[in-house]
Structure 1
Amino acid sequence: MIIQEDLQFHTPVDVDHRWAETYWFGLYVPEANLYGWVYMVFRAGTGAMMCDVEFIDTNSRDMFDARYIDIQNHLPIPERLDDFTLPNGMSFTAITPAQYRMDYMGADNTEMHLDFQGIHQPYDIHDPNIDPMARTNAHDAVEHSGFGSAYASHFDLTTRVTGTISVRGEQYEVNCLATQDHSWGPRPEREMRPMGYVNAHFADDYVVQTIWEFDPSRADGQQHVFKHGYAVVNGTLIGGVAGSLQIDHRGLFPESLELTMTDQNGTIHTMTGTPRAYNNWVPYGCCPTGHAMVEWTTSTGAVGLGTSMEAYPLDTVTGGFLHPDIRMSSPLRTDAHK
């Protein structure tokens, strides 16, 4: 269970450079085909942190086609995790584990003023009272997390995101569902594990969130193994117990997706997706990530938006490990959804 004290740093006494705490926040502006995110990585053992603010609105493998990127890798780590202001213009307040405030004054008339309100309790993937896939043995929990020790402690939280943003002077109102997360544990940049993170959000607060073990050496429909996930249906949080994910790739990026998750009540959630915007995301210099805003359609015809991420750690996928069908595919920029 995630408690108020988990809004503070979890720095171990013998902390070294591998230890990390992270926050992920995303948002969608469907009418503008705009997808934005904030990612923060705090490295207490080095005294530095990374803050990444990005917006994309088209399908492109080239990072210079993004609407806005502000990545700063060596900001000084703040004294507190729950309330801070950074030199890049980011101010952040964690009010409760399910409620956050973010203000950002960036470059070129880009800013954000956003509130994030959880629609369920934080989904602790290591609490068997919350997640039916949780493992009680610490070693097994790490091995089953989907991201190794990086997810030694991890929770997901679907939020209602409201407020205003301006991207290079263009202003937008924000009112969407998006899934956020917070993690802490050893996160070495060597032997980082490939992983997938895929979710979908629909009207009436219907949500499916999933975490996957990912093997990019395979192209036989067996790349993804379900590790954790949940559905939110009529305001009720329901843990996932099984799933399947099929992604047809254009290089590192999805061209089409088929997602199925079975929750612990036996309900099977099925949907297909196509990317409305994607780009190469490099949250770590060692790990390019195929990152997309996906339009999903359920088996009953409901339409929603979500995120697909597949991480490709370079020390793992180099040396001939990456399957040729992925490595040799070369997507071109498309402006179909811009």
Structure 2
Amino acid sequence: MTDQPFYLANNTGLIQARPEDDLLHREVNAGIEGDTLTETQYFGFNVPEKNIHGLTYLWHHPNLNVVTGGLMVFQGVKPISMAAELFDFRIYMNDTVLDNDIHDYRLDNGFGVKILEPNKRFHLTYEDAARGNAIDLVSEAVTPVALFGDGKHFEQGMKVRGTLKLRGEEHQVDCFNVRDRSWGKLRPEALMPMPPVSWMTGSFGEDFIFNCNLMDHVGSNPQITAPFEIPQDKALNGGWVWRNGKLSLITAARKEIRRDDRTFQPQEVTLHLTVEDGSTFVARGTLAASCPYATWTNMHANISLIRWDVEGRIGYGDMQDVIWNDFAYSVASKALVPA
């Protein structure tokens, strides 16, 4: 395969993060040519007892001086992004909105993030009074930063507390989530002749959180046919587990997944994960909420809240499931063939 996405082959060990890694990486980015050079900031939250999930996103193209960003919040399963209770992204903003770096920024749609303490605490706010939508949340670290060995991407387990107003109804947020940051890499929008890729997190409490970035592979689901077959041992792009005060790499993974044939939304997923100390566990996930979101036009993602069961312990987390045209067409075209 060619033109592999920026997030593949990220499982290169973990290194120490710095407080400045929560700011823009202007010096690193300055040495990289290409319009698709990217820096991002992601936070999420959920109200699992009400099947509510939220995503906030900042996407900077420093070589184009353009910023994309905003947030989405949805309850249950939505057929299109415009059916979400809250969906407000702006695609083309001048990056003067980041003149104060990302210490304390506010986008044109009113979404903003303030760094209260780098690598530890963040304040997220937004209000749309006309629609009765608002967030006022503090996201606070419960794990160390998991910075991968290339020094250009990290993830971190967070505790999120605060209030969410959704179409006039107020909800209390008190959940766990995994945030992430990326910088210094090109993010090509070319068509990718690949199987789906799933970025999956599961949070069970301050003592147990996992993250796994995994392609569909041979045997993972019946939709995978010859052009998209990836060996299982080549499918893992990165992952870690925080358990009992220790952050460890995931060294092997297997995925079994069932998606809706029409919407591609995940219905069930089972992960078999091996940790670097040799321990293993199985996480069985079912869909709680989902909403489609095409970050750029040559891809499709379903953003989902998954209910996880690990040995009877229940947790919740993201599944950001990405597909490209070749795979989606192959599935859809078979569905149109008469039996």
177-186 vs 287-296, which moves further: 287-296
Whether the aligned pair in 2 keeps the contact of 1:250 and 1:329 (CA below 8 Å) is no
Q: Amino acid of the residue matched to residue 300 of structure 2?
A: P
15-24 vs 267-276, which moves further: 15-24
Whether the aligned pair in 1 keeps the contact of 2:139 and 2:161 (CA below 8 Å) is yes
Q: Which segments of 5 or more consecutive residues in structure 2 lack a partner in the other structure?
A: 1-15
Per-residue CA deviations over 1:225-274 (Å, capped at 9, x if unaligned) read 12211111123222211111111111321111111211112221212111
* Match in the other structure for 2:21: 6
Distance 2:333 2:204 in 1: 33
Whether the aligned pair in 1 keeps the contact of 2:40 and 2:59 (CA below 8 Å) is yes
Given the alignment, which residue of 88, 104, 111 partners 2:109?
88
Distance 1:60 1:162 in 2: 25
Determine whether 1:256 maps to 2:287.
no
1:91-102 superposed matches below 5 A: 91-94=112-115, 95-102=117-124
Please report how far the alpha carbon of residue 54 of structure 1 lies from its aligned counterpart in structure 2 after TM superposition.
0.6
Please report how far the alpha carbon of residue 22 of structure 1 lies from its aligned counterpart in structure 2 after TM superposition.
0.6
Identify if the C-alpha distance between structure 1 residues 258 and 110 changes in structure 2 by more than 3 Å, giving closer, same or farther.
same
Q: Amino acid of the residue matched to residue 189 of structure 2?
A: E
Given the alignment, which residue of 93, 108, 111 partners 1:75?
93
* Match in the other structure for 1:34: 52
Please report how far the alpha carbon of residue 294 of structure 1 lies from its aligned counterpart in structure 2 after TM superposition.
0.8
Distance 2:239 2:17 in 1: 16
Please report how far the alpha carbon of residue 199 of structure 1 lies from its aligned counterpart in structure 2 after TM superposition.
1.3
Please report how far the alpha carbon of residue 214 of structure 1 lies from its aligned counterpart in structure 2 after TM superposition.
4.5
Identify if the C-alpha distance between structure 1 residues 307 and 13 changes in structure 2 by more than 3 Å, giving closer, same or farther.
closer
Please report how far the alpha carbon of residue 326 of structure 1 lies from its aligned counterpart in structure 2 after TM superposition.
6.0
* Match in the other structure for 1:104: 126
Identify if the C-alpha distance between structure 1 residues 60 and 119 changes in structure 2 by more than 3 Å, giving closer, same or farther.
same
Determine whether 1:172 maps to 2:178.
no
Identity %: 20
Question: Where does structure 1 differ by over 6 angstroms across 4 or more consecutive aligned residues?
Answer: none
Determine whether 1:53 maps to 2:59.
no
Determine whether 1:117 maps to 2:106.
no
Please report how far the alpha carbon of residue 51 of structure 1 lies from its aligned counterpart in structure 2 after TM superposition.
1.0
Q: Secondary structure at the match of 2:224?
A: coil
Please report how far the alpha carbon of residue 91 of structure 1 lies from its aligned counterpart in structure 2 after TM superposition.
2.1
Equivalenced residues, count: 300
Determine whether 1:64 maps to 2:82.
yes
Q: Secondary structure at the match of 1:178?
A: strand
Give me the TM-score of the superposition, normalised by structure 2.
0.81
Determine whether 1:295 maps to 2:307.
yes
* Match in the other structure for 1:240: 250
Per-residue CA deviations over 1:150-169 (Å, capped at 9, x if unaligned) read xx711011100111111121
Whether the aligned pair in 1 keeps the contact of 2:73 and 2:84 (CA below 8 Å) is yes
Determine whether 1:310 maps to 2:321.
yes
* Match in the other structure for 1:134: none
Q: Superposition RMSD on alpha carbons, in Å?
A: 2.5
Distance 1:198 1:327 in 2: 28
Whether the aligned pair in 1 keeps the contact of 2:236 and 2:252 (CA below 8 Å) is yes
Distance 1:327 1:205 in 2: 45
Distance 2:164 2:181 in 1: 23
Identify if the C-alpha distance between structure 1 residues 237 and 326 changes in structure 2 by more than 3 Å, giving closer, same or farther.
farther
79-88 vs 154-163, which moves further: 79-88
* Match in the other structure for 2:200: 198
Distance 2:243 2:23 in 1: 31
* Match in the other structure for 1:137: none
Give me the TM-score of the superposition, normalised by structure 1.
0.81
1:126-205 superposed matches below 5 A: 126=149, 153-184=152-183, 185-191=185-191, 195-203=197-205, 205=207
Distance 1:84 1:52 in 2: 12
Per-residue CA deviations over 1:26-77 (Å, capped at 9, x if unaligned) read 1110122110110110111222211131112122332233221111111222
198-207 vs 39-48, which moves further: 198-207
Distance 2:82 2:142 in 1: 35
226-235 vs 7-16, which moves further: 7-16
Whether the aligned pair in 1 keeps the contact of 2:302 and 2:322 (CA below 8 Å) is yes
Distance 1:5 1:49 in 2: 20
Please report how far the alpha carbon of residue 222 of structure 1 lies from its aligned counterpart in structure 2 after TM superposition.
6.2
Distance 2:155 2:103 in 1: 17
Please report how far the alpha carbon of residue 96 of structure 1 lies from its aligned counterpart in structure 2 after TM superposition.
0.8
Q: Secondary structure at the match of 1:284?
A: coil
Per-residue CA deviations over 1:133-180 (Å, capped at 9, x if unaligned) read xxxxxxxx6xxxxxxxxxx71101110011111112111111111001
Whether the aligned pair in 1 keeps the contact of 2:136 and 2:162 (CA below 8 Å) is yes
Q: Which segments of 5 or more consecutive residues in structure 1 lack a partner in the other structure?
A: 127-140, 142-151, 331-338
Identify if the C-alpha distance between structure 1 residues 169 and 5 changes in structure 2 by more than 3 Å, giving closer, same or farther.
same
